[in-house]
Structure 1
Amino acid sequence: MVTVWCQTASFSRMFSVLLIFGILSVGSAVQQLVVMHAPKYVTFQQQTADLQTSQLPGMVANTLGVGAHKDIGWQGMLHSSVFKRPKANVMLTVEIPPALADKPLALNNMAKFPVMDDLPFFDLESVRNSIQKTFLDQEPLMLDLLTDNTMFDLQSENQLFKKLPNSLRQVKDRLHDPDSVIQKLTSGSLNSSLTPDMTLMGEMQMVNDIIQTLFKNPGLLKNKSPDLFSFTVSGLKSVVDKHGAQSSQTADAQKMLTDFIHSMTGDLKKLYKDNVVVEVFLTTMPKGQSRKVRSLMADPTPVRVALHHKLFINHHFSSGGFHRVLHQM
C-alpha cells in the first residue's frame, strides 16, 4: 500500500481526481434522505427538485442555524424562527446493498427526498468547523461513528465515549446483556453467534449505547452550542452476502433495523425534548464505487480508516493545517 500525503496547496488537484472518479460512478446509486423528526419551527416541504449530495452539509448546517443560513440552492427546508435553533442534528447513514434497492426500509417519516450523487463523497467537516467557529467559548458535542472491518471507528473529543466497546468482539459480549438491542427489539431468524448477523446488531448496539451514555450524563447537553452526530450502519451487506437477498434473515434484518431507527428517533426526541433534527440517509453504493461519510474530529496523529475497494480517503487535522490522505493498493 502506498500512502500519499496531500498538503492544502495541492488539495484542489486531488479533489479534481476524486471528482472525476465520482462522476464515472454517478447515476447508478439509489439515494434518499428521510427526515424522521424536526422541531415544529423547522419544516420540510416535498418538492420536485432533488437534493444533491454536495448540498447535504449545507442543509445540516442550516437546520442548526450555523454558517449564516447559507443558500444551498435547495428550498426543501424552512427555518421559521430567528430565536430558536435545534439543539442537535443526528445523521444516520444506512448503506443498502444493491440487491435491496427495490425494497426500501418502511420508515415512518416527516418527509423524504431523492438525493442525486453529484460528488464522490460527502462529510460533515464544514458543519463541524462552523459550529466550532460560532461557539468558540463552548465545547460542542460532536461524534462520528462507523465500522472499519472488525473495529469501530468512533471519533469524538469527549473522552466519555472512549469507554464504549471498540471492536465487534467486545460488542458481541454486550449483546448478551439484558438491556441490549437484542432484548429490546425482535431479531427473528438472525443469529448473534454468526459474524455477519452480529455485525449489524453490533452497529445498532453502538449507536444505542452512545445515546444511553447521553441519558446517563445530561450535563453534556447543557452547553449552548448545537450537538452534531453522524452514525453509519453498513451491516446489511454482510447479512445479504451470508444469507441471500431473498432470505428470511435479510427480511428480519431489515425489520430489525427499521424498528431500531424508530426506537432511536424516539429516544433522541426524549433526550432533547423534541428539539432535535433526525435524518436517515439511505444510500445504495454500486459495486466498485468508493465513498464513505466521514466527519472526523481533530486528532494529533493521522487517522487511517480502511474503506472499500482501491481508493480510500481519510482526513487529518493538525497544527500544520488540513490534510487528506489518498491510499492506493
Structure 2
Amino acid sequence: MMGVRRDTGKHAARCPRASELLFVPNARDPERAAERPKSVFGDQLAVLRSPQYVNFRSGDWPLSGEKIPDLVALTMGFSVPEDLGWSGLAAGSLFQRPRANALITIRGVDSLDLPSNVSSYPLENAVPFTLDSVAYSIHTLFADSTPLMRHKHLAKDQAPDLFSLELAGMEELGRRYGSDSPQFRDARQILVSALQKFADDVFGVYGSNAVIEVVTVKTFETPLTRKSRSILETKQVGNLLYCGTKNAFDGSVHA
C-alpha cells in the first residue's frame, strides 16, 4: 500500500483555512460593498444637495455615464425601463418627490475638491447624454397642468422642474493654459465655491425639496458609430436600369 508523502519543508504549500479565504462582497449588498477599496476613475458624479427622502448611500460604486438620465428619473420618482443596477441610490419615498432636479455638467475637469459631506461616485464610460427622457416623463405625467401655467392665479403647478446645465469654460482654460497652471487651479477653486452657492440657493428656493448633482468629465468618450452617408450624396453614374451599349438610331443592335 502506497503512503502519502508529506512535505514539511519551508516551501511546503498548505491548504488555507476557511477564515483565511478572501470574501469578495456583492456590489448589491450596501454593507459589504461599502468596505471595498476605492476604485481609480477620473470622472465623477457628486450630489451637492438632496432632501432626506432621497437617500444616497456612502460608498464607491461606479456609475456608467449612460445611466445618468435613469438616475435623475429615479430621484424624481419616475420609473425607468430597466433596473439601474446601482447601489448608490436607496429606495425612495412613495409619497414624496422632489420639486426640482438640477444637473450641472462640467467639461474639462475630472473631479473637484468638494466638502467631505458631499456624496461622490466614480463615473465610467462618460458618453454624452441628455435628459430628454426625463423631460418627456414630466410632460406626460403632468400634461393637464401645463396649460395652467399661463394662469398661475387659478391653480398651482404641480409639475417638478428640471434643469440641465453644461459648463465648458474649464475645458477652454485647460486647453489654453494647461491643467497644472495657476489660472486653472484658481478657476477650479472659484468654480467649487460658485457650485456650492448655486446648490444652496436652489435648495432654498424649493424649500429643501430639490436634488442638485454635478458631473465632472475630463473628455467625453465618442460612441462607436459606423460612418454613414446620405443616399442623396450618392452620385448617379450612368443609367442604372439599362446596362447595354448605346446604339445609333439607324444602326443594328449589338449584343
TM-score by length of 2: 0.63
**1:235 corresponds to which of 169, 173, 176:** 169
Aligned CA RMSD, in angstroms, stands at: 3.0
Q: Alpha-carbon deviations, 1:21-49, whole Å to 9, x = none? A: xxxxxxx9832110001100111113353
Alignment of 1:124-203 (within 5 A): 124-139=131-146
CA contact (8 A) 1:62 1:69 kept: no
**2:157 corresponds to which of 215, 220, 223:** 223
CA contact (8 A) 1:66 1:134 kept: no
Identity of aligned residues (%): 31
The alpha-carbon deviation at position 243 of structure 1 amounts to 2.7
Number of the residue aligned with 2:123: 115
Q: How many pairs were matched up?
A: 181
Residue 133 of structure 2 aligns to which amino acid in structure 1? Answer: S
CA contact (8 A) 1:39 1:276 kept: yes
Q: What is the rounded CA distance, in whole Å, between the counterparts of 2:120 and 2:185 in structure 1? A: 22
CA contact (8 A) 2:57 2:88 kept: yes
Number of the residue aligned with 1:82: 94
**Greater Cα radius of gyration, structure 1 or 2:** 2
Alignment of 1:196-211 (within 5 A): none
Structure 1: which 4+ aligned runs deviate by more than 6 Å?
none
Residue 44 of structure 2 aligns to which amino acid in structure 1? Answer: Q
Aligned-partner SS, 1:43: coil
CA contact (8 A) 2:104 2:214 kept: yes
Number of the residue aligned with 2:203: 269
Structure 1 segments unaligned to the other structure (5+ residues): 1-27, 141-157, 160-217, 292-310, 312-329
Q: What is the rounded CA distance, in whole Å, between the counterparts of 1:29 and 1:139 in structure 2? A: 41
Number of the residue aligned with 2:50: 38
Distance 1:120 1:270, change over 3 A: closer
CA contact (8 A) 1:63 1:79 kept: no
- The answer to which structure has the higher strand fraction is 1
Q: What is the rounded CA distance, in whole Å, between the counterparts of 1:276 and 1:242 in structure 2? A: 36
TM-score by length of 1: 0.49
Aligned-partner SS, 1:55: helix
- The answer to which structure has the higher helix fraction is 1
Residue 130 of structure 1 aligns to which amino acid in structure 2? Answer: S
